[in-house]
């Protein structure tokens, strides 16, 4: 049996400015660095065979701060969060309502369809 445990990356500089990064490659804020370091302690009694993360620095650095030297970390571009197209790096007040409503069934402006992420995975 395969068991997948999911963690989010630490807080970014964009998160603190209420910006939806999408595929913009932004760094962790000092808070995000602390959250990632704290995750190492919070997961010390857990075991993982491997850690997969997005190739964007916020995810890769979060994984390295938490588990470098403990587990193999494999960054993969296919694990990036939503591509907001021309809205990568736009205000969250603009992006988040679209994410919850109209862009569930169609891509963001000038973004590749997010349906590609579901290829081969059950959708129901």
For the segment 4-20, what is each residue's pLDDT rounded down to a tens digit?
A: 999 999 999 999 999 99
Residue 105: partners with Cβ closer than 8 Å, 6 or more residues away = none
In this predicted model, what pLDDT tens digit does every residue of 31-77 receive, in sequence order?
999 999 999 999 999 999 999 999 999 999 999 999 999 999 999 99
Cα separation, 53 vs 76, in Å, equals 6
Task: State phi, psi for 34 to the nearest 5 degrees.
Answer: -60, -45
């Amino acid at each position: 049996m395969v068991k997948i445990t999911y963690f989010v990356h630490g807080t970014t500089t964009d998160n603190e400015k209420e910006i939806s990064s999408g595929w913009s490659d932004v760094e962790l804020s000092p808070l995000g660095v602390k959250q990632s370091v704290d995750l190492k302690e919070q997961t010390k009694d857990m075991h993982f065979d491997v850690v997969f993360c997005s190739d964007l620095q916020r995810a890769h650095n979060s994984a390295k701060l938490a588990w470098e030297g403990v587990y193999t970390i494999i960054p993969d571009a296919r694990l990036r969060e939503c591509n907001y197209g021309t809205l990568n790096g736009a205000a969250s007040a603009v992006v988040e309502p679209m994410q919850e409503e109209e862009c569930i069934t169609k891509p963001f402006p000038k973004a590749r369809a997010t349906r590609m992420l579901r290829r081969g995975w059950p959708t129901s």
